[in-house]
Structures are given as C-alpha cells and as structure tokens.
Chains A and B, each alone.
Chain A
Amino acid sequence: MTRRVAIVTAVQTKFVSSQTDLSIGEMIWEAVGKVLQETGLKFEAQGGDKDGLFIDKIISCSEDYWQGRTISDMLYHMEEGGLGMSLTKVSGDGAFAVYHGAVSILSGKHDVVLVIAYRKESETVGSVIENAGFDPIYLRPLGIDFLTAAAMQANRYIYRYGVTEEQFAEVVVKNKGNAFRNPYAQEAMELTVPEVLHSKMLSYPLKELDCKPVSDGACALVLASEERAKALTSKPVWITGIGNCYDAHYLGDRDLSDCDSLQMAAQKAYAMAGITDPSKEIGLAEISEEFSYQELLWMEGLRLCKRGEAGRLIQDGVTRRDGRLPVNPSGGVLSGNPSGVAGMVRVAEAFLQLSDRAGDRQIAKVETALAHGVYGPAGQAHCVIILKR
C-alpha cells in the first residue's frame, strides 16, 4: 500500500430500543454534527479550507426497505452534509462503507471521507424485511428470516464442532456485562449462564437472550489520507488491512458451519496488514455477533483460534476484558446495535480503543485491533478491517 489511510474520529449516538423523539434526519445530524464539531472540518462544497483540509466525499450506509421508500437517503442529504458533494450509498453493513471509504482514499482520488451508517429498526417489522432478503423462488416462500437461518447455522455448528448452548450463553454474559462500561450501549445486563439458557426459546437453539435486541442509532467516522490525518488529530489510527467477501446464497449450498467467505475476507485483510498469525498478532477484536453463537463461529473463521476451539476459549476467559484476546469489550452487537450500523460501530470501537478514548472500557496496550462486519443470511458476506496505532 503506497498510500496510508487513517481514522481520525468516530462518533456514535446512544443506541436505544426506540428513538421516538428524534426523526431519522435528526438522528443522522446528531452524529454528523458531532463529527464536524470534533474535527472542525468543512465540506468541499462549502468552499473548503485554504489548506485543503475538507471532507471531499461522503459514503452513507442504509437500506431503503427499512424506511419503505426508494432512494430513502434522498431525504437526508442535508443532514449528511451532502449538498454539492460527491456522495454515494452502500447498502448492507457499515463496515463495508468503511471499506469503501478506505478504497476511495487508496485510489488517490479522495483525501478526507465521511462515512455514516444509520437505521431505526423500531419503526417497522424486521422479520418481514429479512424474509424479502431471500430469493423469491425457493427460500422466501418458506417464511424464513435471519433468525431462523441463524438457528440452522447454530445447529450445524453444534453438530459439527461440538460447541454447546452453554458456550453460546457465555458470550451473552460477557458482552452484556461489558456493556456496563460503554455509555453508548443500549442494554447492559448482569447475567448468568442459566439465566440465558432459561430465556424464552425463539428458534431452537436460539433463545431471546442469544439474539440482539431491536435497536435504533447512527454512527459516523472520518477517514483521511496520511497527511490530512496528521493535520486533523494527534492520534490517527491506521487502517492497515481490508478485506470483504461473498458466500453462496442458497443455504443448502453451504455447510453453514464453514466460514469460507469470512476466511477469505480475513485473509485479504491479514495479507495487506502483514499479519501471518492473527491469534497472536491481534490484540483486540470487535466482531459483529447478532446472535451469540456467531461470536464463536466468526472467531474461528477469523483464525483467532482453531476451528472448534472458540467455545473452550470463552469458557477459559480468554476473550474477556482481562483475557489474552478481548473480544467485544464494547458489549458487541448483542448489547444493542442496529444491523447495518453494527459493523461500523465495531470499527468505531476499535478506533476508540487504539486512540485511548475508550473510557471505562479501555483495554490497555493494544497495538493491533480487528473490526468485523457482516450481512446477508447466516453471514453470507463479511468485511474485515485491521487497525493499528
């Protein structure tokens, strides 16, 4: 990589189960306004700064279906700062928007990119939308949604690798406990494994507490080229590796306990970052775990441990805040993030950690962190971002 990219700031709204006071536009502006306040940046379309320090591209991440409106983002261009700007929209997950932002700078065509992700899950019925995410001919008519697809994946994972529901529950206990230290987290809860196991069964083996809650919120980051980054902050966090990858769609075409696309995405990111043994070289991981078992499965796909080992690792406390490899010290997606925003929040959290701005949830002495985003049924597409101090 001849050009370097850094994150200079990251902002989140406090995630809540239902943001009834603010409109989507007000929620977006809360994030973007904060970014502008923190960085003092203007937009290229405003005439820019004489030193060439201005935002020259905006990438938003949202999905029309969640608002029931085509070109839904059109309503929010003002709030995104988009008038007269180079503006584009990615759908899927916020980590992919970060990826796209990094590419925009690596291409040499842009210097300072604002990336934004937002969603209000509370305003409609997610499972209907998720059902529409399956092909209309074979899978959709089954009435399947992402929960049921995840349940199939969890079952396959148990069958193939012997992980247990108790180990899944450990993820919930850890993450919802970590959330107490995160002022942006939606739901901090002090739980025990039996409490998780006894929560209402939604789709075997996934129980209510194994699943992320419905969430509303927004996240925004600023990425910059090396020169600009150093002018904007004393603690830029470098993006040293990026990778993303698609898997097959039809659930039966995959062994759902395999992580082919995640492995490939991770491999691309590791190769770029010069990482050969992630289990040793990654100091902290923020992984998108919409469902508890996914933290374990994705850890294995990321080669943070061997296949089938993640369950044992969590029981040994390795991924706790005080463990050898903290995973989701933020509380993760389980503590409440909208899907689609979750991946960008993982990047934001990794940024805060590496720039020593993570407050009470700060993990000391981390050099290299990993942030992960995912979308599509049973993790069909993954995105991995490696960050370094």
Chain B
Amino acid sequence: MSERIAVVGIGQTEFKSRWPEISQVEMVHLAVKRALENAHLTIKDIDAVFVGNMELFEGNYQVDMWLTEGDGAYLKSGMKIQTGGSTGSSVCTTVFDHAATGLFGAILGIAYEKQDEGSSDYGLRLVSEDTFFDIANGGRAAGPAMAAMALDMLRRKSVTEEQIAQLRVQESENASRNPHAHLRKKLTVEEVMNSRLLIPPLRILHMCPASVGACAMIVAPEKVAKKISPNPAWVVDWVTVHGGTLPPLGHMGVYMEETELGPQWAFGVEQASLKLYTRCGIANPRKEVDVIEVYNMSTWHEAEWWERMHICEKNDAGKLIKERATAMDGDIPVNPSGGVVATNAIGASAMQRFAEAAIQVRNEGGERQVPNVKTSMAVTAGGDSYSAAALFRKSLY
C-alpha cells in the first residue's frame, strides 16, 4: 500500500545576502545539478519536479512556469506548493506523499528564495496586512510577538538572557562548520549580549538574516532507492499540523499565551512533534533520536522548540544550554547546520531542516557531521503555525 521511501540526493547552493550575478533560474539550476550529482543521477532519471516559492517575494506569478528553464521540469510532472515559511517542508511532504504511492521513480523537490530581487520587505509587510484591519502596518509585527514570547520565557525562568547568548554562540559555532550557511562567523557571548536591542529583550544577533539561495532534494521509493543509491536516508514518517493562530491579528502581533494555542507558532511545532513520536513509537525523543534540525528563526525560538518537542521538561531549556546537551558533542545535538538563525532564505529554510537531517543520517555532513547518527528528526514552523516534522533513519530494518 504505502511504499517505503528514501532521500537519495541533496544539493544546496551557497547562501548570501545578495546574488545579482545569477538569475533565479540559474540559482535553482545550481541546486538541482548538485542534488543530481550527489545522487549520481541525471535529470532523465527524474519523473516529477515540485517547486516551493512565495510568489509575492520575488514578484513572479506562477514562477514554476519560468523555472522549467532550469529546474528540469520540462515534460515532467509536478506542481508548485506554497505555505509561507514552512513552504520548503510542504514541498518535502508533497514529494514524500508522491514517492510513497510507488507511481514515480525519482522525484525532485526544490525550495529557494531570491529576496534581493523582489521587494520582500513589501511582500512580508503584506503578510499580516489584512485590508480591513491591519491599518497599523503589520509585517514588522512579528517583533512584538517574538518579544512577548522571549519575555515569557524569562519570566518562567525557562532561560536567562545570558543563556540565550550562549546558545547563539553555539549556533554560530555550528554554522561556521557549514559551507552553505549564510552567517558563518563565530560569535562571542559579549558580542551577542551587547548587540543592538530591537524590542527588548530581542537583540539583533538573536534574529535570523534575510538570505538568498536554493535547496534541492531527490526522493525515491524503496525499489528505486535500493537500486540507485548506496546511501539512502529512509524517511520513516512525516506529518503536518497547521496550528493556526488567529489571523490577521494573532499571527503577527500576539503571543496568545492566554489561549489554548499558546505562544505563536508553538502549537504547530508541539502537535507535529507529538504526532510524529506517537506514529513512530518514540517514547523518549532525547534518547531515541540522535540529532534534530529545528526551525529556529531566532535563538529564543530554538530554546522554546526544545520544550515544545519534549526533549526537555517545560521551563528546562536553560538546563540544556548549561549542560551543552544540544551542542555537537552533547547527548542531543540540535541544528548542527546552524539552523535558520544562520541562514534564512525563507522558501528554502524549511526544506533545509529536512535536508540537513537527511544529510546527518547519510553521514555526509563533513565538518558538521555528528558521529554515529542512526536516527534524525526535522521539525519546521512557519507563518500561521504551519509545522511539519519528519523522522529519518539510516537503515530500515
């Protein structure tokens, strides 16, 4: 009924602030080429191509049409998926669903962002700009919600500001070992603590950058994967949960701590993680998973997500930081890639969580490889609490 599936190829471009010398098509093409090389395949072996993109960031309507010039979709199946910040992971779950039908050979998924081309601040401003209600020009209003979440974390002593700075340093150390990351400079606690205050307690170094780049992933069902790949990352299971805060107001502006949905975007992360654990028979994720990639759009979010994913008790995120439990040499490494706080090409970021988790299981992480990874997990979050989670294993049996 349901085919077992595996990731057989991954390709990423470098990620930077601007990339004026190549077009979107060329950038996507680069990621696709690298994925094909990594999989030892040619475009002829690909049956379907799925693209993720938020059209109002670059301003290209139905961009999957133009992209056929470089993504290999010419005369192949596919479609375009778009779910906000989680788009990259929605592309992955779409690719996974298609692969699991057994109707396709190898399938390619692509997620990217070339924000330097569009007026993405304008596109982002339009996120919460409901015509009728948002007269106070939202879009930047993600700030207050994040600040409120951070204040709440401090209030319930989940973390201290210094611990957040330490975590940011840890994230930067990881990113320094990732050749694809955007912000690779190793930071110090002093630098982070003294960086410019945005909305207290958020500091500029806590927040993710705006990056440009592309990520591509090739997935195949078991019978194909076994033939073509010596090193598949088996996708054991995948789930999506849309948390849903209360747009247009709740999405951006409100912490919602007093409602049952809890902090912005946390509901989706928690529900998706728990659903994945139940379906995969995982009772103790901290012990049973070897490495996790989470969508940390800020350092505060990473700490919050640990609690939401139940790898520690509520209000114990600070403990994990103190113990360095989530560092590369800790007992539950998180974000060896550096995560979103080091690289955020919005469309690609969610796919990169899945890709990096798969890379870990395939032992292709180079300097960022965690030793002896058998099981990895990826959890994403995005606009209006879309969250996807997936579990990868080195071997099926």
Contact = CB atoms under 8 A, between A and B. Distances in A.
B83 A71 contact: yes
Contacts of B64: 91-92, 246, 381
7 closest pairs, A vs B, by CB?
A108-B2, A107-B100, A71-B84, A87-B242, A133-B61, A132-B61, A106-B101
Given A129-B61, A244-B79, A248-B74, A108 B239 contact: no
Contacts of B80: 90-92
Contact of B243 (A68, A78, A84, A243): A84
A49 interface: no
Nearest to A58: B242
Contacts of B76: 245-246
Interface string A23-64: 000000000000000000000000000000000000000011
B94 A100 contact: yes
Contacts of B126: 68-70
Interface of A: 1-3, 63-65, 68-71, 73-75, 77-78, 82-92, 96, 99-100, 103-104, 106-109, 129-130, 132-137, 243-250, 260-261, 264-265, 268, 272, 375-377, 380-381
Interface of B: 1-3, 23, 25, 49, 54-57, 59-62, 64-69, 73-84, 90, 93-94, 96-101, 103, 123-124, 126-127, 129-130, 238-244, 247-248, 251, 267, 271, 383-384, 386
A40 B93 CA distance: 28
A103 B68 contact: no
A247 B74 contact: yes
Nearest to B25: A135
Nearest to A93: B79
Given A82-B242, A84-B267, A377-B65, 10 more contacts: A65-B61, A88-B83, A89-B82, A91-B64, A91-B80, A108-B101, A133-B61, A245-B76, A246-B74, A246-B78
B127 A250 contact: no
5 contacts: A71-B383, A103-B97, A132-B60, A135-B69, A136-B59
User: Which of B73, B79, B80: most chain A CB closer than 10 A?
Assistant: B79
A70 B60 contact: no
Contacts of A135: 25, 60, 66, 69
Given A70-B56, A107-B100, A77 B247 contact: yes
B97 A90 contact: no
Given A69-B56, A89-B81, A132-B61, A84 B244 contact: yes
Contact of A375 (B60, B62, B100, B386): B62
B386 A87 contact: yes
Contacts of B243: 83-84
A366 B59 CA distance: 44
Nearest to A380: B65
B239 to A, nearest CB: 7
Contacts of B57: 70
Contacts of A89: 81-83, 90
Contacts of B79: 90-92, 96, 99-100, 244, 381
B240 A88 contact: yes
A137 B55 contact: no
Contacts of A244: 77-79
Contacts of B82: 64, 71, 89, 91
A96 B123 CA distance: 26
